[in-house]
Structures are given as C-alpha cells and as structure tokens.
Amino acid sequence: MKKPLFLAFLCAIVFTATAQQADSLKKVIANGHDTSKVLAYVAFSDITKNPDSSVALAETGLALARKTKFKKGEAESLKQLANAYLKTSNNARGLEYFLGALRVYEDMDDQDGIQLMLRQIGRIYTRQGDRVTALSYFKKAGEILKQINKDEQLVYFPIGSIYDNMDKNDSALFYYQRAYEYISTSGDKKGMAGVLSHLGTLHVKMNNIPLALSYGRMAVAAFDQYNKGMGGSAYNHLAEIFIKAGMKDSAIYYAEKNYAKGEILGDRDMRLESSSLLARLYDNDQAALKYYRIAAVLRDSLYNSQITTQIRNLSFNERKRQEEIALAQTTEKDERRKNIQYGAIAIGLITLVIGFLLLSHSVIVNERLIRFFGIMALLLVFEFINLVAHPYIGDLLHHEPIWMLLALAGIAALLIPLHHKLEKMVEHKLVEKNKRIRLQAAKKTIAKLEGETTVITREEKPVH
C-alpha cells in the first residue's frame, strides 16, 4: 500500500524535475536497497524546484537513513535539507541542518565533508552579516583543505568577500586575485562570474571605474553563459558600478534584472539587495516607495528578532560543543603523553633488568626468564609505537578501521622478526655467560678440592 501512495506522490511533483532523472530515481526508490533509496531521496530533493517538495523528500531520506543507521546518507540528507531551506532564504533552518550534518561528518571523521559544511556555515554567517564568525569558519575549512591536499583556493573567494565587506581593500584584492587565478584554470564559469563581479565592485571602491566596468561586463557575460541568459547577482554588482560611473539608467536596468532573477529563484536575499538599490535609484516617488516597502518586508522576514535569536542560540550551542570537543582533545593528548612516558619508563626498566642479567658475573639466569622479559618488552615497544604513531597514522588513513588494523599489523610484522633476532642473540650471550660462570665456579671448586687433598696428604705422611 505504501509503495503506490509514494509513487502517486512522485507523479504529483515530477513536473518540477527533469523527467529522465525523475524516472531513474523513482525506480531506485521503488526497488533499490535502503542505502540507494536514501541517496535517491537526496538526489530527487536536489533537482526538485518546489521548496516544500524538496524539504519533504530530504526529510524522508533522513528518516530512512537514521532507521538503517546509514551515516553517510544521514549527513547527505541533513545537508540537502539545509540547501532546501536556503532556497527560501531560511537561514536559521539552513544553519540548523548544516550544523547537524557537520556533527555526523565529524562522527565519521570525514574531513572532506567537514570542510564542506564549515564553508556552508560560513556562507550563512556571511549572509547574516556576522563577518568575524564567518571568517573563522572559512579559515578552519582552509586548514582542512590543506591537510587533505585539496584546493585551499576554494575559500579564497568567500574570505575576500568578507574583507571586502569590512572595507579591507588590500586584503580583499589579495584573496580575489588568488581566487581568480585558481578559477581561471578550473573552468568554473559560475565561480568566475562571482569573482569578476566582486572584483568590479572592489575597484569601484578603489575609484578604478574603467577597470571596474570591464570586470562587471565580463562577470555578466560569464553569468549569462553559465545560466543561459538568466544572469545572477553580477547584475546587481554591475548596477553598483554604473551608479559610481554616473550611468543611472544602466544601473536601474541591471538592478531590475537582478530583482527578476531573485523572483524566479525565490531568493529573498537577491530581491532584498536589488529592491534596496532600486529604492535609492528611482526618482519616481511611487516606484521608489514600492521598492522601499518590498525591501522593508524582505528585511523583516530575513532578519527579524526571532530568526536572529534562533541563529544566536544555534551559534551559542555550537560554540559550547566545539569547546567541549577541544577540551576532550586536550585531555586525550595529556593522557596519551602520560601513557607514552609510562611506556618509556617501563621499557627502560625492562631493558635495565635484561642488561643487568646479561652483564652480571655471578647470577645464573634461566632462559625462560629472559624469554618472559623479552615478550614483555616486545608488547611494551609495540604499545609505545602505537601511542606515538597513532594520531599520525589516523590522520593519514582517515581513521578507517580496516586500514588502521592493516597498519598496526604491518608494524607488528616488522617488530616480531626483530624481536626473534634479538632474543636469539640475548639467549646466545646468556648461554655463554652461564657457561663462563659455571666454569669459573667449577675451577674454584677443583682448586679448593686440590688444596684440601694436599693438606690431607701432608697430615697422613709417616714420621721416621
């Protein structure tokens, strides 16, 4: 009964998605395994333009992922839920689900997923105007990108944008140019349009108007090519450039194009940006008042006290969680450092005992005792190496259990033959030492017996 109902639901929303993709996903959802179904729900949510349908599909995928304990699917579903809410500029819900996805990626130690969520969270804080927090998230993402040998340049553009908004023009130009260099070789037309449009507005602030116009027009051309004539926020940036250049009609033209694009996409941020600009540009009081009212309504819906409070609460809880993680990591490092010290002390003591037993000139040692101490030393050395190398091996192998096990098995495979060689060498020296001690003891006994025999012989000698 459930399957026909769900197929009916899919039929009701299929007009909003690519027909071929939708048909393929329906088949997977109807007949696939649970993990495949979860990913199909996520994919269907992503291609569905209706925000409510997008949310419903992602929630269905999330429920199935949690039921089947499919962590990767849970993270992907949470990420898609955040994206679905961001389609309607619901920053608070978007932040909530991105933070949820971040926690799941952290549980899996998926560094690539973590850096992606950090960048997405940074985007939301940028939208909210919290530049300091946004900058911290982008820089954390950049550190992880560097660690996993991925393109650190992925954070250059958003960092440049933050410095741009903070009026730190030199820093903004530095990051924009580095982002431009990277994107020029990657073929990312959407990214290219974004960088060019921001370079244009930055050069407006630096009073390089001809260069700013050049960047702005290139940005619009790139957006038109990427979005098949639909344009994007580059229109708004070009409008700002035309304002500075004194070309008011051109500024109005591009601001209206940006507003229309925002209406098509349902992007309230784009509409707010454009309506605020149009309210300033129009000399006609009626048109200016119209856009002023639109901007006021949009600003209230995006940044009202309730949403601001929700984001502050989410931010507070996340900071507290990160502090707890940092404290746990510090405690773990201290414990590991102490265990390494204890291990080194134990290895040193056993080495001293074995050395004493080998070098002693009077103690005869049983070979089994040396074997016992040898095995203890082997175990301690293995544990010592594990304590020292574990963090580095874990980072290298991303804490994957099977690879970690193989790495430790490899260390053991190197230690065991070495242990056998050392054990044979020690046993040989021990045997030689025991023989030497016994020989010396025998010589002393013989000498003593010979001395006693001489004395007795003298006593028994007859007197003439």
Q: Decide if 353 is inside a domain.
A: yes
226 and 265 Cβ atoms separated by less than 8 Å: no
374 and 275 housed in the same domain:
no
Q: What's the chain's length in residues?
A: 464
197 and 285 housed in the same domain:
yes
Query: Which of 297, 316, 343 is the endpoint of a domain?
Result: 297
How does pLDDT run across 171-190, given as a tens digit for each residue?
999 999 998 888 888 777 77
213 and 265 housed in the same domain:
yes
Q: Decide if 65 is inside a domain.
A: yes
118 and 141 Cβ atoms separated by less than 8 Å: yes
How does pLDDT run across 43-101, given as a tens digit for each residue?
888 888 788 888 889 999 999 999 999 999 999 999 999 998 887 778 888 999 999 99
Q: Decide if 462 is inside a domain.
A: no
Residue type present at position 408: L
- DSSP 8-state symbol, 462: P
Rounded CA Rg of the chain: 37
Residue 44's domain spans which residues? 1-108
The rounded Cα 332 to chain-centroid distance in angstroms is 20
Q: Decide if 403 is inside a domain.
A: yes
216 and 281 housed in the same domain:
yes
Residue 167, phi then psi, degrees to nearest 5: 65, 30
What is the Cβ-side half-sphere exposure of residue 286, based on CA atoms within 13 angstroms? 0
- Sort 447 into a burial class: Cβ within 10 Å, 0-12 / 13-18 / 19+: exposed
Alpha-carbon distance of 73 to 380, in angstroms, equals 41
Collapse the DSSP code of 99 into the 3-class scheme (helix H, G, I; strand E, B; otherwise coil) and give the result.
helix
349 and 436 housed in the same domain:
yes
Residue 309, phi then psi, degrees to nearest 5: -65, -40
102 and 176 housed in the same domain:
no
97 and 61 Cβ atoms separated by less than 8 Å: no
Query: Which of 257, 282, 297 is the endpoint of a domain?
Result: 297
Q: Decide if 355 is inside a domain.
A: yes
Alpha-carbon distance of 425 to 408, in angstroms, equals 26
Q: Decide if 367 is inside a domain.
A: yes
364 and 270 housed in the same domain:
no
Q: How far is it between the farthest Cα atoms of the chain?
A: 158
pLDDT of 168 reads 93
Structure tokens at 331: 């405690």
Alpha-carbon distance of 202 to 176, in angstroms, equals 10
Alpha-carbon distance of 96 to 297, in angstroms, equals 24
pLDDT of 87 reads 79
pLDDT along the chain (464 residues), means of 10: 45 51 77 86 85 88 92 94 86 91 92 93 89 92 87 86 91 91 78 85 89 86 65 75 85 87 79 86 84 83 71 80 76 75 69 61 61 68 70 68 76 74 68 69 74 62 54
What is the Cβ-side half-sphere exposure of residue 343, based on CA atoms within 13 angstroms? 17
286 and 336 housed in the same domain:
no
CATH number at residue 179: 1.25.40.10
Helix intervals (H) in 206-304: 209-227, 234-244, 248-265, 268-281, 285-303
How does pLDDT run across 250-304, given as a tens digit for each residue?
888 888 888 888 887 777 778 888 888 888 888 888 888 888 888 888 877 766 6
pLDDT of 414 reads 75
Alpha-carbon distance of 437 to 242, in angstroms, equals 101
Alpha-carbon distance of 254 to 189, in angstroms, equals 20
291 and 362 housed in the same domain:
no
199 and 277 housed in the same domain:
yes
25 and 92 housed in the same domain:
yes
Looking at the structure of the chain, the number of domains it has is: 3
DSSP string, 4-66: HHHHHHHHHHGGGS-HHHHHHHHHHHHHS-HHHHHHHHHHHHHH---HHHHHHHHHHHHHHHH
pLDDT of 274 reads 86
Alpha-carbon distance of 321 to 99, in angstroms, equals 11
Query: Which of 60, 75, 108 is the endpoint of a domain?
Result: 108
Q: Decide if 149 is inside a domain.
A: no
pLDDT of 138 reads 94
Collapse the DSSP code of 267 into the 3-class scheme (helix H, G, I; strand E, B; otherwise coil) and give the result.
coil
209 and 270 housed in the same domain:
yes
Q: Decide if 126 is inside a domain.
A: no
